[in-house]
Amino acid sequence: MTKSKLLLAGLLALVLAPVAAFAQALPDLGGKQVVVVTENAYPPLQFIDPKTGKQIGWEYDAMNEIAKRLNFKVEYRNTSWDAMIQAVSDNQYNIGMTGITIKDDRKEKVDFSDPYMRSEQFMLVRGDESRFTDAKTFGAFKDGLIGAQPGTTPFYTAVYSVLDGNEQNPRIKLFETFGATVQALKSGDVDVVLTDGTAGKGYVDASEGKLKLIGGPLGTEDFGFIFPKGSDLVKPVNAAIAALKADGTFDALNKKWFLDYKMGQ
């Protein structure tokens, strides 16, 4: 073996050793039924395939792999974002997933998994937008409207990072779903939707030039799955998340959904 090959073999051994340890350490949940709720409005994390009508996305692939490795059966349900955290808190569902930002105030109602993804927020606008180019110039554009879901990270970012800190600011129009905010943007009812780069790229890729992202990132957020307080699923799911990070599964999902997948094709 050449020196370079020996070095590569050594590095592979170092990488694969903890992966094997993770694989051996994962608990077996004995085929139990786990109800997972989502919104299906956040491509490419989770959404309805416009071609097949099936529920697909990064989070579905990740959750299915977690279920496989922990040996539990997944039953998927759907609800709106504004009902999700309370519904999980009330034990209506075992796990919630919809690109949920880990925040201290939410931890008062639900338990979070370890982060499975970090994302940054951007401004999503129509493809022909030229009246403003970033948060500062939008803030100065007094007629501009932002579409947002109440209680979400984009809502609070709009209030405190783009506008004046007034949560009742009439420049913010509220909608029940993220998809509804994007439809309002397309139809001209609002001028900006704040979204993490993950979802924003999915919408831009599917828009055929009708949407674009502008400006720099407005903040960083970590996504986690949510559970009822005290859930015995948190620890095994965290172990599975660690294993999927260590063995490159999450990296492969990132490539599949953020680089290779094209909405509507």
Residues 158-175 pLDDT 10s: 998 899 999 999 999 999
**For position 24, what pLDDT does the model report?**
53
249 CB-near residues (< 8 Å, 6+ apart): 62, 65, 243
Query: What is the 3-state composition of the chain as percent helix, strand, coil, each rounded to the nearest 5?
Result: 40, 20, 35
CA distance 128 to 10: 53
* Mean pLDDT, all residues of the chain: 88
4-27 burial: b if 16+ Cβ within 10 Å, else e: eeeeeeeeeeeeeeeeeebeeebe
What is the identity of the amino acid at 249?
Answer: T
Q: Average pLDDT of 50-68? A: 95
CA distance 182 to 210: 11
Give the chain's radius of gyration (CA, Å). Answer: 20
**For position 265, what pLDDT does the model report?**
58
**For position 13, what pLDDT does the model report?**
40
pTM: 0.70
CA distance 145 to 147: 7
The Cβ-side half-sphere exposure at 145, using a 13 Å CA radius, reads: 15
Residue 179 CA, distance from chain mean position: 14
114 CB-near residues (< 8 Å, 6+ apart): 224, 238, 241, 242
**For position 187, what pLDDT does the model report?**
96
Per DSSP, the three-state class of 92 is coil
Q: Average pLDDT of 36-52? A: 90
Residues 197-240 pLDDT 10s: 867 887 888 888 999 999 989 978 899 999 999 999 999 999 99
**For position 136, what pLDDT does the model report?**
93
In 71-152, alpha helices (H):
81-89, 104-107, 135-140
β-strand pairing of 95-96 with 32-38? parallel
pLDDT tier at 264 (50, 70, 90 boundaries)?
low
Question: Residue length, the chain?
Answer: 265
